Amino acid sequence: MSADPVSIRILVVDDHPLVREGIVRQIELESDMTLVAEAANGREAIQQFRAHRPDITLMDLQMPEMGGLDALIAIRNEFPDARILVLTTDKGDVQIMRALKAGARGYLLKSSLNEELMGAIRAVHAGRKALSAEASVEIAEHATDDPLTPAELRVLRLVAQGKANKEIAAQLSVSEETVKGQVRNILSKLRAKDRTHAAMIGVARGMVEL
């Protein structure tokens, strides 16, 4: 397909070939868009971005070798004007904010692909930001929450790995009493019933990766 001079040039990054194929088919139906390259992980994304300098990059987050967030940061460091639209299954507010702070111009969930994707590409190309309705709700829901401190996040990640307070204390070189206090704070801030519930919330919101 020959590129029109005013076509929006797009790089699609996703480790699932079927997902890429579905996105490519949608792009091919649009007269103002052209696919310039595809990539299956973050490293390939950086290489393809350097080679093609696309107008818009559609970036998945969870990928082997190098994830989308690291690739996004690397590309934005090298090309500050890069317009990257995150396209993912992760709807946790922490993950969303992380991507936006790293310079993503939009955040869409794969579940809303058909309805929102083309409009989001055009919006980001025009200099606007694009956030799916579900992502907006996630951010709003936790906007006034008391955030976990870096130390509490470290403890939560170890709790999610099934480690007991004594093991966590040894690993972090702190007292068991310190860990107990941090676990209490975590349960309170996340409004969790117990450690397992806190770990589940941490995963759902993108604080913890299992």
Where along the chain do its domains lie? 8-140, 150-204
- Reported as a pLDDT band with limits 50, 70 and 90, residue 35 is very high
User: pLDDT digits over 67-120, tens only?
Assistant: 999 999 999 999 999 999 999 888 788 889 989 999 999 999 887 666 689 999
What pLDDT, in 10s, does the model give residues 176-203? 999 999 999 999 999 999 999 999 999 8
Question: Is the model's pLDDT at 148 over the cut of 60?
Answer: yes
Q: Span 150-204: which CATH code?
A: 1.10.10.10
Which of the pair, 179 or 138, is modelled with greater confidence?
Answer: 179
- Dihedral angle over CA of 197, 198, 199, 201, nearest 10: 90
- Does pLDDT of 1 surpass 50? no
CA-to-CA dists, residue 16 to 28, 63, 103, 113, angstroms: 19, 9, 24, 15
Quickly name the fold that domain 8-140 has.
Rossmann fold (3.40.50)
Residue 5: what pLDDT? 55
User: According to the model, what pLDDT value does residue 114 have?
Assistant: 67
CB 134 within 8 A of CB 109: yes
pLDDT of residue 116: 81
Give Rg (Cα) of the chain: 20
- 55: tokens are 């107008």
pLDDT band at 6 (very low <50, low <70, confident <90, very high): confident
Between CA 49 and CA 36 the distance in angstroms is: 10
Contacts by 164-170 with C-beta closer than 8 Å and gap 24+?
A: none
Tell me the C-alpha distance between 48 and 37, whole Å: 7
Residue 2 has pLDDT above 50, yes or no: no
Average pLDDT score, the chain: 91
**145 or 15, which is more confident?**
15
